[in-house]
Structure 1
Amino acid sequence: MSKSIAPLNSDKHFKSKIIESTDYRRFAEQHLIPVVFHEFHHLASEFPLVFVKNTETGQFIPVALMGIKNGVNLYCQQDNWQPIIRPLGFNNAPLSLVKTNEQSEDVMVCIDEDSELVVSNDGHRLFKDNKEQSDYLKARTQALLDIASYRQQTANICQFLASKELFTAKQLSVKLLKNEQTINIDGVYIVDEKLLNRLSDEEFLVLKNKGLLSLIYAHIISLQQLPRLIEKQNQYDKSQ
């Protein structure tokens, strides 16, 4: 755990408050943002949604592609981005859930004490005068628990899709105005529509009954947002 991440404590953090901000520059160097299936339909109209593989576990993870080049999130370079659509994970800071120990499923709420979102006045109180949790903290904690549940469900869905061998590696080739050579985005996986259509009627019905078809099609449709991302990269390059 980072030294600045500390378990939330009613005594130590009694005077701490949190402000809301749409300054997402903390993600400025992350062009792949992990997402959950529960937000696929919402995100698909703005970002290409693809999958990457954890090299240690081999598990597939859905991500929103928010940049063409490594280390550049095209949406988070300025402090004045007013997003209508954004990944759920953008709302977590400065709070997080951390397991009490590796063997336990119990979690505790932690706070990033060095975060600019943590202030001593003009923010949302975390604790009431009697040191009980404020309604704001309860709502933020529930949101963290919901996202944690969504992530577990997302991992289970990815494992199921992988068991059906529906993922295929896809090299995304991009031609930018300032680059003579084509940029290849590697390490990306998609649900192959051809493999999907080769499933037996019984297997296809299982996907339908599990409510996965609409998620898969949202993912496939989201790939049409790649030209939008290319245009944003071209505009970004012009400004540099």
Structure 2
Amino acid sequence: MAKIVPLSTEKHLNIKLTHSNDFSRFSKEHLIPVLAREIPSLVAEFPIVFVKNGETGQFIPVAIMGIEPEVNLYCQSNQWDAPISPIGFSNAPLSIARTSEEGDNVIVCIDEESPMVSEAEGNRLFTDEGERSEYLTARTNALLDVAAMHQQTQAVCQFLADKNLLVSQQLTIKLERSEQKININGVYLIDDKALNELSDEDFLELRKKGLLPIVYAHRASLNQMSRLIAKQNQFDKLQ
């Protein structure tokens, strides 16, 4: 269980962090939120689709890492075997949180229960004098960059939604274990027809915002469903 608390010199002066590619903590999350900026690189491995937040109505890009709920086919062991991983996977055990809903001030938090936290080995977060280490400064800057990219992602999704490019579609797949096909619902794709019917003005705006690489990468990523099906078939054989 995670125990996330604000980072402080009083409690964490001697804490060190190690690096780990053990992403098994995501083993039950088959849809992993990603950032718009990383979509063109992630498509080399994962199908990228959009899902809708039922409470806010906001769209979120996600990498599909499993066909069935609560089974992430990439994170069933502590060995990550894909050539690329989402940026968010590398944040732990640090995170940032707003100090208030209205303001922009943030604090750095740490998951004290993470296996990457120890006093024995790794990179120190603070110096003996209680100052931030260069390592912590770099990690904090990386977290702030991710937070900024998250805001950019929200803006990208809102723009696509405003242009009516995100359309609800059903993905249908066939696994070796069953004669029946499986339908994956609740996903949204950038619709080719809607994209082709954009006015010249809207298409130019899409290009000027630098969104065309993201649009085309998302469409190309759907070809990775065959990779995911193969991983599911292999997973089923081992059960």
Normalising by the smaller structure, the TM-score range is over 0.9
Secondary structure of 2:152's partner?
helix
The aligned residue for residue 135 of structure 1 is 134
Residues 22, 82 of structure 1: 8 Å contact kept: no
Distance in 2 of aligned mates of 1:139 and 1:71: 33
The code of the aligned residue for 2:113 comes to: D
Please report how far the alpha carbon of residue 136 of structure 1 lies from its aligned counterpart in structure 2 after TM superposition. 0.9
The aligned residue for residue 5 of structure 1 is 4
The aligned residue for residue 30 of structure 1 is 29
Gaps of 5+ in 2: none
Question: % of aligned pairs identical?
Answer: 56
The aligned residue for residue 161 of structure 2 is 162
The code of the aligned residue for 1:228 comes to: R
Please report how far the alpha carbon of residue 41 of structure 1 lies from its aligned counterpart in structure 2 after TM superposition. 1.1
Distance in 2 of aligned mates of 1:193 and 1:83: 29
The aligned residue for residue 66 of structure 1 is 65
Residues 7, 110 of structure 1: 8 Å contact kept: yes
Is 1:145 the counterpart of 2:144? The answer is: yes
Instruction: Encode CA deviations 1:84-128: one digit per residue, 9 max, x unaligned.
Output: 200000001100011112222211000011111111111111011
Please report how far the alpha carbon of residue 3 of structure 1 lies from its aligned counterpart in structure 2 after TM superposition. 7.8
The aligned residue for residue 216 of structure 1 is 215
Normalising by structure 2, report the TM-score: 0.97
Residues 97, 109 of structure 1: 8 Å contact kept: yes
Secondary structure of 1:196's partner?
helix
The code of the aligned residue for 1:62 comes to: P
The aligned residue for residue 174 of structure 1 is 173
Normalising by structure 1, report the TM-score: 0.97
Please report how far the alpha carbon of residue 82 of structure 1 lies from its aligned counterpart in structure 2 after TM superposition. 3.7
Distance in 1 of aligned mates of 2:103 and 2:235: 45
Secondary structure of 2:110's partner?
strand
The aligned residue for residue 40 of structure 1 is 39
Instruction: Encode CA deviations 1:59-78: one digit per residue, 9 max, x unaligned.
Output: 00000000111100000001
How many residues get paired? 239
Q: Cα 1:3–1:169, aligned 2, differ >3 Å: closer, same or farther?
A: closer
Q: Cα 1:3–1:28, aligned 2, differ >3 Å: closer, same or farther?
A: closer
Aligned CA RMSD, in angstroms, stands at: 1.1
Distance in 2 of aligned mates of 1:80 and 1:163: 40
Distance in 1 of aligned mates of 2:2 and 2:39: 34
The aligned residue for residue 202 of structure 2 is 203
Instruction: Encode CA deviations 1:149-196: one digit per residue, 9 max, x unaligned.
Output: 000000011101100000101111111011232111110000001100
Distance in 2 of aligned mates of 1:32 and 1:105: 28
